[in-house]
Amino acid sequence: MPHFLNLTDAGADGVAAMLADALDRKAARAGWPKGMVDADAPLAGRVLAMVFEKNSTRTRVSFDMAIRQLGGTSIVMDAGSMQLGRGESVADTARILSGYADAIMIRTDDHAKIEEMAAHASVPVINGLTDASHPCQIMADLLTILETGRALPGLKVAWLGDGNNVLASIVEAASLMQFDVVAACPPGFAPAEQAIAAASGRALVVTDPYDAVADADIVVTDTWISMGQLHAEEKLAALAPYQVDAALMAAAKPGAAFLHCLPAHRGEEVTTEVIDGPQSLIWQEAENRLHAQKSVLRWCFGQIG
Ligand code: CP
Ligand code: NVA
């Protein structure tokens, strides 16, 4: 069963094929009304069930529109209003949803739950964010980078801030797609050493933000406090020197692009000047969640790669 729990599930060839498909499909419907179904309606008749244990704007709407544009339909559920929210097991939920829907997307607070979902589902399961990773976000980020005309191999990506779930998927992408990521994280908030070691030398963690951005093509950050984490003042204080501001952007390669998965906290991880400035690609990046996920869905249904 082709589950998409992490980028490695698709591998380098699968990721490359999905990105190529996303570029083609996005171009083919440029200027169309959002609700029009793609000409080939490749997922006609398919139903995507979505389960959210955490808040979402982009993932919820972009997956809903993705399956619609592919000719299918969706059912969107908040875990709190499901029996899952009052103790029905993940395994039983997986079996039940597999009987009604053709694919399941879940956003959960615990990566072990999505693995359990995948182990018991008889339809593809897609990771819509866990505490450990956010592969669909990085598919959109890679698509956005390709649209700038940059090739992925040889690129330098700088990450500033918390060593979180989004960074974990960037690190995974780096080793698959042959680019380098240098993450500047304060002590205590670096990613797990094991994740860095698994990146085949493509990932490096430093403490000085200027070491990360030196010669960087892409500068990325994310919220300092992820969903489900305590709003700890000491964490905010530790991360303060990692704010992406105009001086840090100026220390990257001229014309470096700025990415942020959103939601953003202007004045914390990034200044308004940078996120709303000319190097920021955040709106394109957010829209690309839709285009990238259409290809993830097609990959899950065996239509790509
Ligand atoms: N970037 C992202 O996943 O956004 P949402 O939390 O709004 O889905
Ligand atoms: N790291 C953030 C990403 C939100 C899309 C979180 O987990 O809350």
Q: Which of 69, 137, 243, 293 is catalytic?
A: 137
Cα–Cα dist 111/102, whole Å: 21
Q: Identify the nearest ligand to the CA of 289 by its number.
A: 1
> Is residue 42 a contact partner of residue 70, using CB atoms and an 8 Å limit?
yes
In angstroms, what is the span from residue 185 Cα to ligand 2's centroid? 16
Give the contacts of 106 (CB within 8 A, at least 6 positions apart).
Answer: 50, 51, 52, 53, 113, 114, 117, 125, 126, 127, 128
- Catalytic residue at 13? no
- Catalytic residue at 120? no
* Residue spans of the chain under pLDDT 50: none
- Pocket lining: 226 vs ligand 2, CB cutoff 6 Å: yes
Give the DSSP letter string of 155-204. Answer: -EEEEES---HHHHHHHHHHHHHT-EEEEE--TT-SPPHHHHHTTTT-EE
- Catalytic residue at 107? yes
DSSP single-letter state for residue 37: P
Residue 206's Cβ-count burial label (10 Å; 0-12, 13-18, 19+) is middle
Q: If we measure between CA atoms, which residue out of 49, 50, 24 comes closest to residue 39?
A: 24
> Is residue 262 a contact partner of residue 289, using CB atoms and an 8 Å limit?
no
Phi and psi angles of residue 264, each rounded to the nearest 5 degrees, phi first: -105, 155
**Closest C-alpha residue for ligand 1 atom 7:** 57
Annotated binding site for carbamoyl phosphate: 56-59, 83, 107, 134-137, 261-262, 289
- Catalytic residue at 134? yes
Q: Point out the ligand 1 atom lying closest to the alpha carbon of residue 129.
A: 3
Q: Is 229 helix (H, G, I), strand (E, B) or coil?
A: coil
- Catalytic residue at 222? yes
Q: If we measure between CA atoms, which residue out of 134, 181, 135 comes closest to residue 14?
A: 135
Q: Point out the ligand 2 atom lying closest to the alpha carbon of residue 165.
A: 1
In angstroms, what is the span from residue 114 Cα to ligand 1's centroid? 17
**Closest C-alpha residue for ligand 1 atom 4:** 58
**Closest C-alpha residue for ligand 2 atom 6:** 226
Residue with tokens 């450990």: 132
Q: Point out the ligand 2 atom lying closest to the alpha carbon of residue 229.
A: 8
Please tell me the chain's helix, strand, coil percentages from 3-state DSSP, rounded to the nearest 5.
45, 15, 40
> CA angle at residue 152 from 159 to 7, to 5 degrees?
75
Longest pairwise C-alpha distance within the chain: 54
Q: Point out the ligand 2 atom lying closest to the alpha carbon of residue 59.
A: 5
Q: Identify the nearest ligand to the CA of 226 by its number.
A: 2
Give the DSSP letter string of 244-287. Answer: B-HHHHHHS-TT-EEEE-S---BTTTB-HHHHTSTTB-HHHHHH
